[in-house]
Amino acid sequence: MHICGELLCKMFSCPGKNSGIERRYVHLDEELLGAHPDFSDRALPTLDARIDMASAAVPELAASAAARAIAEWGRPAADVTHLVFSTYSGGKAPSADLRLASLLGLRPTVSRTILSLNGCSGGGRALQLAKELAENNRGARVLVACSELTLIGFYGPQEGRLDTILGNGIFGDGAGAVIVGADPVDCIERPLFEMAFATQTTIPETENEITTRLMKGGLDFHVSIRVPKLLKSNIERCLIDTFKSIGISAEWNDLFWAIHPGGRAILDHVEQLLGLGVEKLAASRRVLREYGNMSAATVIFVLDELRRRRARGEEVAEWGVMMAFGPGITIETMVLHAAGSLKEN
Ligand SMILES: CC(C)(COP(=O)(O)OP(=O)(O)OC[C@H]1O[C@@H](n2cnc3c(N)ncnc32)[C@H](O)[C@@H]1OP(=O)(O)O)[C@@H](O)C(=O)NCCC(=O)NCCSC(=O)/C=C/c1ccc(O)cc1
């Protein structure tokens, strides 16, 4: 796995002091908002304009992250055999993945899959899919790219909808990219993480807790106040079942953790539930603090942060867990092994 996170956006903002977020980056700056004042009012029909803007910016942001991931990988872009692309900022076909393939100069036979509206679990799903593609196609090299722009669903506060303020307060823009393969070529490819085992779980009867819907005024997000507690009640079962499936018994504090920082309360609940030491979620908290919740791209930033910490000589456990949460409520869980070369970076 070769990883890169990328931000191309222009403006930063600071939500409330309890959010755990110090800054975020957004494409929709004051100049663009000045040109589209109707974006602030979700009752106005702005979807077309938002889709046009996102269709241009989403693949460019993705290309910037992917170009860096490919450069670190060390092989030409033409060696990419598959592309898995995740975004909630789509709305057109052909989708941003085709434009991304063209911007990167991928081969015309590259096998493309787009994940749309998977929300914050999209990064975890894309990586699981890439793992399966890589393991089942000899020599495959899968580019995973997640690119999210909040402009598709940004609008002003609405009476009786505190959750829209929450969405505008914690979401940020960003793109992450990873190259996944199953059989690294010696001396050229230096794997960072091995994806040992992956599962997806849906919490029963929670389909209305995290939702998005394309409306004439843009993408309407709803995140219920129950989400942190619902995750808290279900995460440990997922972890126990996942580790049982691979026959490893794990002490939670002996692992490294790449938890999707969907919000400060989610990290607090996970930390408390699993009895984790304060340093265990430091990578997730740093990404939340510096970038906010970038939906699918966020877990890639967390993996990148863990990689950087290891490179700086900080102690990172050999085995770890990545978890991402999205509409469903869907929990994507992956057991990771820090590959040998990570220690030498
Ligand atoms: C940092 C927060 C936002 C605020 O923390 P706080 O400052 O300590 O404050 P409180 O938690 O006490 O909340 C302040 C007020 O907001 C209210 N509130 C608090 N969450 C809420 C609420 N979801 N509704 C509606 N009122 C609320 C809460 O009741 C309270 O109201 P009040 O007592 O009247 O002041 C914290 O609540 C928090 O981290 N919450 C979890 C955030 C969360 O669920 N994140 C989403 C995870 S899932 C995800 O990321 C996927 C997104 C997605 C992306 C793209 C897609 O296409 C699809 C999906």
- Amino acid identity of residue 62, one-letter, is A
Q: What is the pLDDT of residues 293-331, one digit of tens each?
A: 999 999 999 999 999 999 999 988 999 999 999 999 999
Residue in 4, 9, 14, 120 annotated catalytic: 120
Backbone torsion region of residue 292, taken as left when φ is above 0, otherwise alpha when ψ lies between -120 and 50, otherwise beta: left
Contact predicate 287/120, CB 8 Å: no
* φ/ψ of residue 58, rounded to 5: -60, -50
* Ligand 1 atom with minimal separation from the 260 CA: 50
pLDDT band at 169 (very low <50, low <70, confident <90, very high): confident
Q: What is the pLDDT of residues 207-223, one digit of tens each?
A: 999 999 999 999 998 99
pLDDT band at 10 (very low <50, low <70, confident <90, very high): very low
Q: What is the pLDDT of residues 191-209, one digit of tens each?
A: 999 999 999 999 999 999 9
Residue 16 scores a pLDDT above 70: no
Residue 2 scores a pLDDT above 70: no
Mean pLDDT of 28-47: 93
Please give the pLDDT value at position 162: 81
Pairwise CA distance, residues 287 & 21, whole Å = 9
- Quick check: is 187 catalytic? no
User: Percentage of residues in the chain with pLDDT exceeding 70?
Assistant: 94
Q: Whose CA is nearest to atom 13 of ligand 1?
A: 225
Question: pTM of the entire structure?
Answer: 0.93
Q: Which of 55-69, 96-110, 161-175, 248-262 shows the lowest per-residue confidence on average (mean pLDDT)?
A: 161-175
Q: Whose CA is nearest to atom 19 of ligand 1?
A: 225
Structure tokens that stand for 171 in this block: 């979401």
Pairwise CA distance, residues 174 & 159, whole Å = 29
| Backbone CA torsion sign across 313, 314, 318, 323 | negative
Q: What is the pLDDT of residues 119-137, one digit of tens each?
A: 999 999 999 999 999 999 9
Mean pLDDT of 160-165: 80
Under 8 Å CB-to-CB from 161, ≥6 apart: which residues?
Answer: none
Please give the pLDDT value at position 219: 94
Contact predicate 251/280, CB 8 Å: no
Residues with CB under 6 A from ligand 1: 16, 18-19, 88, 117, 119-120, 162-163, 166, 170, 210, 212, 223-225, 227-228, 262-266, 293, 295, 325-327
Q: What is the pLDDT of residues 246-288, one digit of tens each?
A: 998 889 999 999 999 999 999 999 999 999 999 999 999 999 9
For β-strands 111-116 and 82-87, DSSP reports them as: parallel
The CA 167 to ligand 1 mean position distance, Å, reads 8
